[in-house]
Amino acid sequence: MAFDSDRTNTWLIYGKKLSEMPEGGPSRFADILAAYFPEVAATIDKAESGDLRHEVDTLKLATRKAILEHDWITARAHFALVDHILESAGIEIHEAIGVSYLVNLFYGETTPEFAKARMLMPKRLASALELMERHFEEL
């Protein structure tokens, strides 16, 4: 999905220009996920392994579960990892996280649990979410 780089790309929140973005593929995300949350990485369907959006969606589902169970320590840890990944990730991972994680996790969610989860997000990640939500509202 192509985005208007002046308004919607998560990498702008992280202070990067498109020309500065490093290469980064799906296996890099899965490797990082396995290093920090092996129990989440273990739930990646082997048939879908290597599909970046599926790998990101697996983390999104784990975060959603943590939010719904009021496991704020886990939710905060997931947000911190995503924020850390976005500091040095390539464009493909930024776009996958923007849509498959941030938007699919929060868009349209108005329950108190999700409101609290938003408050637990690192500032840059919360800003990226706001940017993505504005983009989808304008479509």
Please report which confidence band the pLDDT of residue 106 belongs to, taking 50, 70 and 90 as the band edges: very high
Q: Which helix (H) or strand (E) holds 16?
A: none
**What's the CA gap between 101 and 59, in Å, rounded?**
8
106: nearest Cα among 124, 122, 129 = 129
pTM, two decimals, is 0.84
**Which pLDDT belongs to residue 107?**
87
- Domains identified in the chain, total number: 1
For residue 74, being part of any structural domain is answered with: yes
- What are the pLDDT digits (tens) for 20-66? 555 554 457 888 999 999 999 999 987 777 889 999 999 999 999 99
**Across residues 114-136, what is the average pLDDT?**
91
Alpha carbon distance 98, 87 (integer Å): 13
pLDDT attached to residue 5: 47
Helix or strand or coil: residue 54? helix
Expressed as residue numbers, the domain containing 116 is: 25-138
| Residue 123 belongs to a domain | yes
DSSP secondary structure string for all residues of 73-137: HHHHHHHHHHHHHHHH--HHHHHHIIIIIIIHHHTT--SHHHHHHHHHS-HHHHHHHHHHHHHHH
Does residue 69 belong to any structural domain of this protein? yes
Asked if pLDDT for residue 19 goes beyond 80, the answer is: no
Angle at 45 between CA 88 and CA 11, to 5 degrees: 20
